[in-house]
Chain A
Amino acid sequence: MNSIRRALVAVLAFGIVKPLAALAAWNKEAFGAKTAGDALKGLGVGNAAPSKDLTIDAPQIAENGAVVPIEISSAIPGTNALIVVIDKNPFPLIARFDFKEGALPFVKVNVKMGETSDVRVLAEAGGKHYVATKEVKVTIGGCGG
């Protein structure tokens, strides 16, 4: 199915007028970066100051690396975006959430972690960036049940 037919099907099936697939932004360069540094550069993130107002709630040990729950909240005034990076993943950039008027800078998401790693979260507020990190240990489970 080519992309025009897909868009038509989407309109007919869901009754929503959607922009064509190509118009939805997805930062290929940043998501394709193999190091956290390159990923952040791709997002235009320079220096980030550590902040205690940026909280990461994640278990210290994840029983299964396939599903690691991470809850992020920013109390930094004017936070308009949250960025999640997992340093040791093959492609460290995991997500970028942009919050517009009406949404709080908060998100909970389940992520895949290949191995024990720092989870790094950045907040964008007033054109500046802030960072918080937390280590999550990943174990491999046993025989089920």
Chain B
Amino acid sequence: MAAGPMKMRATLGQGFTDVRVLMTHPMETGQRKDSDGKLVPLHFIQNLTVKVNGKPVVEAQISQAVSRNPVFSFRLKGGAKGDKIEVSWLDNHGDSNSTEAAVA
């Protein structure tokens, strides 16, 4: 299944790197009814990983209560222009997506 667009921006701040990542995902709670009145099944991102130059620095476990089309902000220690940041997610269906950006 093709995952929707994912977008990330990594910028140098005051002694840290600000990473903002937006991802497309329905984050269905399993409690919502569609227009036919049927329950839409549980479908949400469970794991998120942030890597700097290939090394994992943030590992997150999240629930279906994170908002649809999640937006996260993280802060990385120090950082330098050109550092490679990668954010990837894995959902409860086994689908995944990832995006990379260089620190600007």
Residue ID in chain B nearest A97 by CB atoms = B60
- Which DSSP category, helix, strand, loop or mixed, fits chain A's interface? mixed
Question: B33 to nearest A CB, angstroms?
Answer: 15
Number of A-B contacts (CB under 8 A): 111
A6 interface residue, CB < 8 Å from B? yes
- Which DSSP category, helix, strand, loop or mixed, fits chain B's interface? strand
Give the chain B neighbours of A103 by CB distance below 8 A.
Answer: 50, 57-58, 74-77
B71 interface residue, CB < 8 Å from A? yes
**A26–B76 touching, CB < 8 Å:** no
7 pairs across A/B with beta carbons < 8 Å? A7-B94, A16-B98, A94-B66, A100-B57, A101-B77, A103-B74, A106-B74
The residues of A with any CB-CB pair to B shorter than 8 Å are: 3, 6-7, 10, 14, 16, 18, 21, 24-27, 31, 66-68, 71, 86, 89-91, 93-104, 106-113
